[in-house]
Amino acid sequence: MRKFVYITIAIMSLFCSCADAKVKQYKIDVVKEYRHDETSYTQGLFFYKGKMYESTGQWGESTFRQVDINTGKAERRLDFGDKYFVEGSVVFNDKLYILTWKNKVAFVYDPETLKYEKTFSYPREGWGLTTDGKNLIASDGSSKLFFMDENFKVEKTLTVKMDGRAVQYLNELEYIDGKIWANVYTTDMIVIINPKDGNVEGRIDCTGLLPKSLRDRNTDVLNGIAYNPSDKKIYLTGKYWKRLYEVRLVEKK
């Protein structure tokens, strides 16, 4: 009887935690699909002045690209040396910022010309990168988000929690309508984060987005969220995926 009581209390506790948090549950509806360069190990994805940009990783394969969304092909491209593993990227205050994974450096370019400007020392692993228009916002694979100025000085650190528990492996980031969207690495889940307190307000289940028929032995995880503010469309893709998807959210009942 005692064991039953303990189990019942534990289940009730978990239920209450979820109910109190009021995390909205979403699934996705595919609006349209596009070709995606399957050699792209997608790390960062965003729009700037109506154009899609993508940073890709892996040693010896890292690039930054302006992408033709209709064909998936690069219209302009930067290739990085074999010693660099490129991660998240974003334009902030008219400068293009690109993180590296373990190199402990971040690069700055002119987004119009893709001309190199400077290199910054970066004290942690680089993963995802976005901006709220006031700060750079970065992840490092933990449950933390770092709000930084244009010189990478940390202004604020948030711990992201869902149902009171820290959410680990935060990866690619996108700022959409006042919230931070984050891929959770190795999963088909995207979380919607309140940037004021770090609480997860929504959970997006992307299971099955890329069908088995488009997967092969190189296909990797979901990673890549882009929001086009000009038409409010949202796009998702993944590492070495053959497709990019325009999607809309549908709340689960």
pLDDT tens digit string along 28-75?
999 999 999 999 999 999 999 999 999 999 999 999 999 999 999 999
- Domains of the chain: total: 1
Residue 12 lies in a domain: no
Residue 152 lies in a domain: yes
Find out whether 169 and 183 touch, Cβ atoms under 8 Å: no
Residue 14 lies in a domain: no
Residue 8 lies in a domain: no
Beta bridge pairs of residue 95: 92
What pTM was computed for the model? 0.88
Residue 221 lies in a domain: yes
CATH number for the domain that contains residue 172? 2.120.10.30
Residue 21's pLDDT is: 54
Residue 241 lies in a domain: yes
Q: Please identify every stretch of the chain with a pLDDT value under 70, giving residue numbers as ranges.
A: 1-21
The set of residues, in sequence order, having a beta carbon less than 8 Å from that of 181 and lying 6+ positions away, is 173, 174, 175, 190, 191, 192, 193, 204, 225, 227
Give kind and range of the element (H or E) at residue 10.
helix 2-21
Handedness of CA 219, 224, 228, 247 (dihedral sign): positive
Beta bridge pairs of residue 78: 64
Residue 16 lies in a domain: no
Residue 13's pLDDT is: 39
Residue 252's pLDDT is: 87
Give me the amino acid identity at 199. N
pLDDT digits (tens, 9 = 90+) for 181-203: 999 999 999 999 999 999 999 99
Print the domain residue range for 97.
24-251
Residue 200 lies in a domain: yes
